[in-house]
């Protein structure tokens, strides 16, 4: 059950000596740059919004222990977050909103410039959006003649094979929306981004179908936890 440490009507909290700690964290955050705080301290600071008084360090460390990393915490289902002692709905919603903001910032970076000229921005976006997933998700990024993203299409969830992704349908979608190129993307929930035989075969079939109709398959990116694989970079496309 979720703890109700955020707000408890009718009960007065005892004074807590953590106020100075919060001020010191704020000063380090504002004055020390991107690496001023450890992951648990970043999480501590985020928890201040929902837990107005008291020491947030134990809650931060409990969340990291439960979900494995800062990214794991921020990408966790809000209902799962509230199962950690000290985390109520307000705190869970706040953490969820941070993850949402990060995804939207990364997505805006991808949309503002040609994808092939801002490859790292694309990889950052895909990692933020997919590395935490516990199911395999297949997406197709459709590009126009200037290589700007015109559609980020969620094809479906499941293994990458012709039962889940049909080469003709992928290329037909490109023709329907006026795309001239595409990038295939999926994640490996295991965390290992190395391509399987099925990954390679479906990529080659889609590329061949695209060549016949003038649609270029630039790459197939597989996202793992903290790593990715490009089939083009491996010479498989």
Give the domain-ending residue among 67, 83, 104.
Answer: 104
Q: Are residues 173 and 91 in the same domain?
A: no
Give the model's confidence band at 231: pLDDT under 50 very low, under 70 low, under 90 confident, else very high: very high
Domains: count for the chain: 2
Place of tokens 């921020």: 74
Residue 220, helix vs strand vs coil: strand
Above 80 in pLDDT, residue 17? Answer: no
Mean pLDDT calculated for residue range 141-152: 92
Q: Which two tokens stand for residue 119?
A: 């490859």
Identify the band that residue 101 occupies on the pLDDT scale cut at 50, 70 and 90.
Answer: confident
Q: Is residue 9 part of a domain?
A: no
Boundaries of domain holding 222: 114-230
Length of the chain (residues):
237
Identify whether residues 86 and 175 lie together within a single domain: no
Tell me if 97 is assigned to some domain.
Answer: yes
CB 219 within 8 A of CB 184: yes
Is residue 221 situated within a structural domain?
Answer: yes
* Domain co-membership, 125 together with 76: no
- Assess if residue 182 is contained within a domain: yes
Among candidate residues 104, 133, 162, the one where a domain is terminated = 104
Tokens coding 123: 């990889």
Span 224-233, average pLDDT: 89
């Amino acid at each position: 059950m979720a703890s109700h440490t955020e707000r408890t009507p009718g009960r007065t909290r005892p004074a807590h000596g953590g106020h100075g700690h919060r001020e010191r964290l704020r000063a380090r955050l504002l004055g020390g740059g991107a690496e001023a705080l450890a992951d648990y301290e970043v999480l501590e600071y985020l928890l201040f919004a929902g837990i107005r008084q008291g020491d947030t360090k134990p809650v931060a460390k409990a969340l990291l222990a439960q979900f494995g990393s800062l990214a794991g915490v921020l990408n966790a289902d809000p209902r799962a977050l509230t199962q950690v002692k000290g985390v109520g709905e307000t705190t869970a919603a706040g953490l969820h909103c941070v993850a949402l903001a990060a995804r939207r910032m990364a997505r805006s970076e991808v949309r503002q410039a040609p994808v092939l000229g801002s490859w790292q921005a694309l990889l950052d976006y895909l990692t933020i959006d997919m590395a935490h997933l516990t199911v395999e998700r297949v997406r197709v990024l459709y590009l126009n003649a200037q290589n700007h993203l015109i559609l980020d299409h969620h094809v479906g969830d499941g293994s990458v094979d012709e039962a889940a992704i049909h080469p003709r349908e992928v290329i037909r979608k490109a023709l329907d929306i006026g795309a001239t190129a595409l990038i295939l993307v999926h994640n490996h929930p295991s965390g290992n981004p190395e391509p399987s035989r099925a990954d390679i075969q479906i990529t080659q079939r889609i590329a061949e179908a695209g060549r016949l109709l003038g649609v270029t398959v630039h790459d197939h990116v597989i996202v793992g936890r903290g790593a990715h694989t490009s089939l083009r970079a491996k010479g498989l496309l």
